[in-house]
């Protein structure tokens, strides 16, 4: 198994550290971990390593046979000069050399093929594994984490970083094996031939090694900088494209391009630095290598002249060096890919290793529904990213039960949406507790809880898919009739029927091609399709006209008969029939009761009501509630 990089589990709520990129000291650990992942594919990795070694050995044979052939040819020449040649024997010797060479080349090719293929296969398998892990992890991590990270950054990790890690198997592990075999095997051959010449021929190795490790560190630094900059650039581009209407509305193209250019220039500077570093190291390595070749020629030449070695031996030494030319060049790529793999791996593992703060307790059972009563008991809450210790919600008590409707009103930022989020346990309460039929929602499985609570979010996200897929998103087994029934309830069916492809019509990412109200109605239909016990409508009729809203309310009557409903709204007509209306202000309940009692009390609710019911009237004097949340 891969060594766990860290001792303590990191929760995804930690504001920093959870997400910041600090791979400087986990470099080796990360590489080890990827390597361990590779060796989990034992069979393939064995084949890959074995064929790499064999391929290297056969590649080493090539210079030997070349040298042999040269010696033979020269020997023949000498013999011919001396008149003692045996033509046919000489030719058959040449033939043997040629055939051996051919055989070595073919075998080398076959082994290289296997090594390449298995190397890539293992890389792809790792990529596959990481992709799944990453995907699942993104699904598990809590919303407070997702709030903080940028989607562009997550995409960069999921695409580019996985790629960087994947390449490590081939360009990192196997290539270093090959290099070791080539240099090591070559050294053996050379030393057997002539130790002095061998030393000269291999003199470049230590220098290249040192150069490479220096370059690797520097390159890694630039990779870290570069990945960060690219993430930043991605974010800028993604936001710009996502908010293109705002950009257009304010004719801010020039400003946006300026912002882009600034980051892009910085990225380019880093990229150029990387090119410089990279080129400097590769060319210097090649240079040193060629110098060594020159020396070999010199020393070897002198030795041949002195008769200490044969011309063939010199040829062999040179041919061996020639074989190393490509690998030496590739050392540059190799260290680049090491640097890349450790950076990318660090970034990925940073996400994958997080512990979701919202997760099933060990041994948590499913929620057992009896009555379907949902209760907030003295709930306190503050968002993890707010450092101040003031609370978004304080001392909230609420009870929702089937057949009953609760209305929540309050100024922007008073915490209405937060209540809905807590119900689905997207965040955990910081004080008090929320129970369903007496069970603390933290003690039951998330799945069973979220099946029980359906929330229509204030800002619905629609998937790029057909309308029926979107409506049935929460229950993909749903039949056509129940889809249509939901759409009818949400007053969307007639509109859909009028579309050329009715339920098969594609809707866009955030539903751009639907109007605001249509989008909201689609998300209402989506929420009521699965059979939940409690429905929360978070301001989900704000973009719907009163007439349509009224029709929705009518048709929801059946649905709500045996379910609890919480309606959050600003338009009082949406919630004035509620059994209980709660007036929220700065995270506290300041008034509660049904419409009549609240009107009788003459407090904030009554004022708000008058404000909406009477056109053109100013509110009566009295305390004007402040907008805003935590205070």
Partner 1 sequence: MNPVQSQQDATRRDGSGAETDRPPLAVVGSQISQDEELFGRAFDPWVIKRFMAYLAPYKRQLLIGLGCVLAFTLTQLTLPLLVRATIDHALADGADDLSLLQIFVVAFLGVVVLNYAANHFMETLIGKTAQRLLFDLRRAMYAHLQVVSLSFMDRTEVGRLMSRLQGDVNALQEFLESSIFAIGDLVLLVGIVIVLLSLDPALGGLTLSVLPLLLLVRIIWLPLARKAFMRAREASSTTNAALAENVHGIRAIQELRREAVNFELFEEKARENLDAHLAASRYTNVMVPIVDTLTGSAMAIVILIGGSMVLDNTLDVGVMVAFLFYVQRFFDPIRSLTLQYSIMQRAMAAGQRIFEVMDVEVEVQDAPDAEDPAEIDGAIEFRDVTFGYERGNPILRNITFKVQPGETVALVGPTGSGKTSTTALVHRFYDVWEGEVLVGGRDVRAVTQDSLGRHIAMVLQEPFLFSATIEENIRYAKTGSTRAQVEDAATAVGAHDFIMRLENGYDTMLDQRGSNLSLGQRQLISFARALLADAKILVLDEATASIDSYTELEIQRALARLLKDRTAMVIAHRLATIRGADRIIVLEGGEIVEQGSHDALMASGGLYARLYRMNYASFDDIPADEVAKAIASGERET
Ligand X SMILES: Nc1ncnc2c1ncn2[C@@H]1O[C@H](COP(=O)(O)OP(=O)(O)OP(=O)(O)O)[C@@H](O)[C@H]1O
| Residue closest to Mg ion, measured at CB | 417
Residues facing 98 on adjacent strands: none
Interaction residues for ligand X, span 384-423 (CB under 6 A): 385-386, 392, 410, 412-418
Binding mask 434-463 for Mg ion (x = CB under 5 A): ------------------------x-----
Give least dist CB 403 to partner 1, A.
12
- One of 27, 228, 539, 580 touching partner 1 (CB under 8 A): 539
C-alpha to C-alpha distance for 247 and 254, rounded to whole angstroms:
10
Measured CA distances, 300 to 74, 187, 469, 564, 577 (Å)? 17, 15, 76, 92, 101
43 touches, from partner 1, ligand X, Mg ion, none (C-beta below 5 to 8 Å by class): none
C-alpha to C-alpha distance for 87 and 607, rounded to whole angstroms:
118
**Closer Cβ to ligand X, 147 or 504, answer by number:** 147
Helices 87-140 and 325-352 meet at what angle, rounded to 10?
20
Structure tokens at 559: 């649905």
C-alpha to C-alpha distance for 49 and 81, rounded to whole angstroms:
48
- One of 542, 543, 590, 599 touching ligand X (CB under 6 A): 543
Q: Three-state SS across 60-126?
A: HHHHHHHHHHHHHHHHHHHHHHHCCCCHHHHHHHHHHHHHHHHHHHHHHHHHHHHHHHHHHHHHHHH
Interaction residues for partner 1, span 228-257 (CB under 8 A): 230, 234-235, 237-253, 255-257
Sheet hosting strand 534-538, strand order edge to edge:
453-456, 534-538, 564-568, 405-409, 580-585, 588-593
User: Which residue spans within 355-493 are E strands per DSSP?
Assistant: 374-381, 393-400, 405-409, 431-436, 439-440, 453-456, 465-466
- One of 89, 268, 600, 601 touching partner 1 (CB under 8 A): 268
- One of 246, 257, 512, 617 touching ligand X (CB under 6 A): 512
- One of 460, 517, 530, 564 touching ligand X (CB under 6 A): 517
Give least dist CB 384 to ligand X, A.
8
**Closer Cβ to partner 1, 32 or 129, answer by number:** 129
516 contacts Mg ion (rule: CB under 5 A): yes
- On whether the CB atoms of residues 78 and 320 are closer than 8 A, the answer is no
Binding mask 558-587 for partner 1 (x = CB under 8 A): ----x-------xxxx--xx----------
- One of 97, 330, 452, 518 touching ligand X (CB under 6 A): 518
Helices (H) and strands (E) in the chain, counts: 22, 12
- One of 14, 74, 435, 555 touching partner 1 (CB under 8 A): 74
- Cβ-Cβ contacts under 8 Å for 366 (sequence gap 6 or more): 444, 445, 447, 448
- One of 59, 417, 489, 574 touching Mg ion (CB under 5 A): 417
Give least dist CB 516 to ligand X, A.
3
Q: Around 31, how many Cα atoms within 13 Å sit in the side-chain half-sphere?
A: 17
- On whether the CB atoms of residues 579 and 619 are closer than 8 A, the answer is no
8 contacts partner 1 (rule: CB under 8 A): no
Task: For residue 471, give the nearest of 517, 507, 441, 500 by alpha carbon.
Answer: 507
124 contacts ligand X (rule: CB under 6 A): no
Interaction residues for partner 1, span 195-234 (CB under 8 A): 230, 234
155 contacts partner 1 (rule: CB under 8 A): yes
C-alpha to C-alpha distance for 384 and 430, rounded to whole angstroms:
10
513 contacts ligand X (rule: CB under 6 A): yes
Interaction residues for ligand X, span 140-159 (CB under 6 A): 147
57 touches, from Mg ion, ligand X, partner 1, none (C-beta below 5 to 8 Å by class): none
150 contacts partner 1 (rule: CB under 8 A): yes
17 touches, from ligand X, Mg ion, partner 1, none (C-beta below 5 to 8 Å by class): none
Which among 2-10, 45-53, 340-348, 379-387 is the span making contact with partner 1, rule CB under 8 A? Answer: 379-387
Report, in this order, helix, strand and coil percent for the chain, each rounded to 5: 65, 10, 25
C-alpha to C-alpha distance for 630 and 144, rounded to whole angstroms:
17
497 touches, from Mg ion, partner 1, ligand X, none (C-beta below 5 to 8 Å by class): none
Rg (CA), the chain: 36
Which among 84-92, 260-268, 509-517, 547-555 is the span making contact with Mg ion, rule CB under 5 A? Answer: 509-517
Give least dist CB 348 to ligand X, A.
25
Give least dist CB 275 to ligand X, A.
41
**Closer Cβ to ligand X, 107 or 543, answer by number:** 543
- One of 183, 514, 537, 598 touching ligand X (CB under 6 A): 514
315 touches, from ligand X, partner 1, Mg ion, none (C-beta below 5 to 8 Å by class): partner 1
Give least dist CB 234 to ligand X, A.
22
C-alpha to C-alpha distance for 569 and 566, rounded to whole angstroms:
10
C-alpha to C-alpha distance for 463 and 511, rounded to whole angstroms:
8
606 contacts ligand X (rule: CB under 6 A): no
Task: For residue 374, give the nearest of 530, 534, 531 by alpha carbon.
Answer: 534
In DSSP notation, 500-543 reads TTGGG-EE-TT-TTS-HHHHHHHHHHHHHSS--SEEEEESTTTT
Binding mask 333-372 for ligand X (x = CB under 6 A): ----------------------------------------
Give least dist CB 615 to partner 1, A.
4
Give least dist CB 144 to ligand X, A.
7
Give least dist CB 456 to Mg ion, A.
12
Residue 326 Cα to chain centre, angstroms: 34
Pairing type for strands 374-381 and 393-400 reads: antiparallel
630 contacts partner 1 (rule: CB under 8 A): yes
135 dihedral zone (left: phi>0; alpha: psi -120 to 50; beta): alpha
371 dihedral zone (left: phi>0; alpha: psi -120 to 50; beta): alpha
Which among 186-194, 196-204, 342-350, 450-458 is the span making contact with partner 1, rule CB under 8 A? Answer: 450-458
Residues that bind ligand X (CB under 6 A): 147, 383, 385-386, 392, 410, 412-418, 458, 512-518, 539, 543, 629-630
In the complex, the residues that contact Mg ion under the rule CB under 5 A are 417, 458, 515-516
């Amino acid at each position: 198994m891969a060594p766990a990089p860290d001792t303590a589990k990191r929760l995804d709520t930690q504001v920093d550290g959870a997400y910041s990129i600090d791979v400087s000291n986990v470099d080796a650990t990360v590489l080890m971990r990827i390597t361990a992942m590779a060796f989990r594919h034992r069979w393939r990795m064995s084949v890959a390593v074995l064929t790499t070694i064999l391929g290297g050995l056969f590649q080493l044979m090539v210079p030997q046979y070349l040298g042999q052939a040269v010696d033979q040819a020269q020997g023949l020449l000498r013999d011919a000069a001396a008149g003692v040649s045996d033509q046919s024997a000489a030719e058959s010797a040449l033939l043997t050399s040629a055939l051996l060479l051919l055989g070595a080349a073919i075998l080398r090719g076959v082994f290289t093929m296997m090594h390449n293929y298995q190397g890539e296969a293992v890389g792809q398998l790792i990529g596959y594994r990481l992709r799944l892990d990453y995907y699942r992890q993104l699904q598990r991590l809590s919303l407070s984490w997702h709030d903080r990270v940028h989607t562009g950054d997550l995409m960069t990790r999921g695409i580019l970083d996985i790629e960087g890690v994947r390449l490590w198997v081939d360009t990192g592990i196997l290539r270093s094996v090959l290099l070791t075999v080539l240099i090591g095997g070559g050294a053996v051959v050379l030393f057997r031939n002539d130790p002095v010449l061998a030393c000269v021929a291999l003199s470049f190795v230590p220098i290249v090694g040192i150069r490479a490790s220096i370059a690797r560190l520097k390159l890694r630094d630039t990779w870290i900088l570069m990945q960060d900059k690219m993430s930043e650039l991605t974010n800028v581009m993604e936001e710009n494209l996502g908010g293109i209407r705002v950009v257009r509305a304010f004719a801010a193209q020039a400003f946006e391009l300026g912002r882009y250019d600034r980051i892009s220039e910085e990225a380019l500077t880093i990229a150029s630095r990387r090119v410089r570093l990279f080129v400097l190291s590769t060319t210097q390595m090649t240079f040193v290598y060629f110098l060594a070749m020159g020396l070999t020629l010199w020393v070897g030449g002198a030795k041949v002249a002195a008769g200490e070695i044969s011309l063939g031996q010199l040829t062999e030494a040179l041919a061996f060096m020639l074989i190393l030319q490509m690998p030496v060049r590739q050392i540059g790529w190799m260290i680049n890919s090491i640097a890349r793999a450790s950076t990318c791996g660090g970034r990925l593992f940073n996400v994958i290793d997080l512990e979701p703060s919202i997760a099933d307790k060990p041994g948590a059972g499913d929620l057992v529904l009896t009555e379907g009563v949902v209760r907030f008991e003295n709930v306190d809450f503050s968002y993890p990213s707010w450092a101040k210790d003031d609370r978004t919600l304080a001392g909230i008590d609420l009870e929702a039960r089937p057949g009953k409707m609760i209305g929540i009103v309050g100024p922007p930022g008073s915490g209405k949406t937060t209540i809905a989020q807590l119900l689905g346990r997207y965040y955990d309460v910081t004080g008090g507790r929320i129970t369903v039929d007496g069970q603390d929602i933290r003690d039951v499985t998330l799945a069973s809880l979220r099946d029980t609570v359906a929330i229509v979010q204030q800002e619905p996200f629609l998937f790029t898919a057909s309308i029926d897929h979107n409506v049935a998103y929460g229950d993909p087994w749903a039949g056509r009739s129940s889809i249509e029934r939901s759409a009818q309830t949400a007053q969307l069916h007639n509109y859909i029927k009028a579309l050329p492809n009715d339920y098969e019509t594609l809707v866009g990412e955030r539903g751009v091609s639907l109007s605001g109200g249509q989008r909201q109605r689609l998300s209402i239909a989506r929420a009521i399709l699965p059979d939940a016990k409690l429905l929360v409508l978070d301001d989900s009729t704000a973009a719907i006209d009163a007439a349509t809203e009224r029709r929705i309310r009518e048709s929801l009557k059946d649905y709500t008969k045996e379910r609890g409903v919480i309606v959050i709204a600003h338009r009082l007509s949406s919630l004035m029939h509620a059994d209980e209306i709660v007036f929220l202000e700065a995270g506290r309940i300041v008034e509660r009761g049904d419409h009549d009692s609240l009107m009788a009390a003459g407090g904030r609710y009554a004022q708000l009501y008058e404000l909406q019911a009477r056109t053109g009237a100013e509110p009566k004097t009295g305390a004007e509630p402040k907008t805003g949340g935590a205070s």
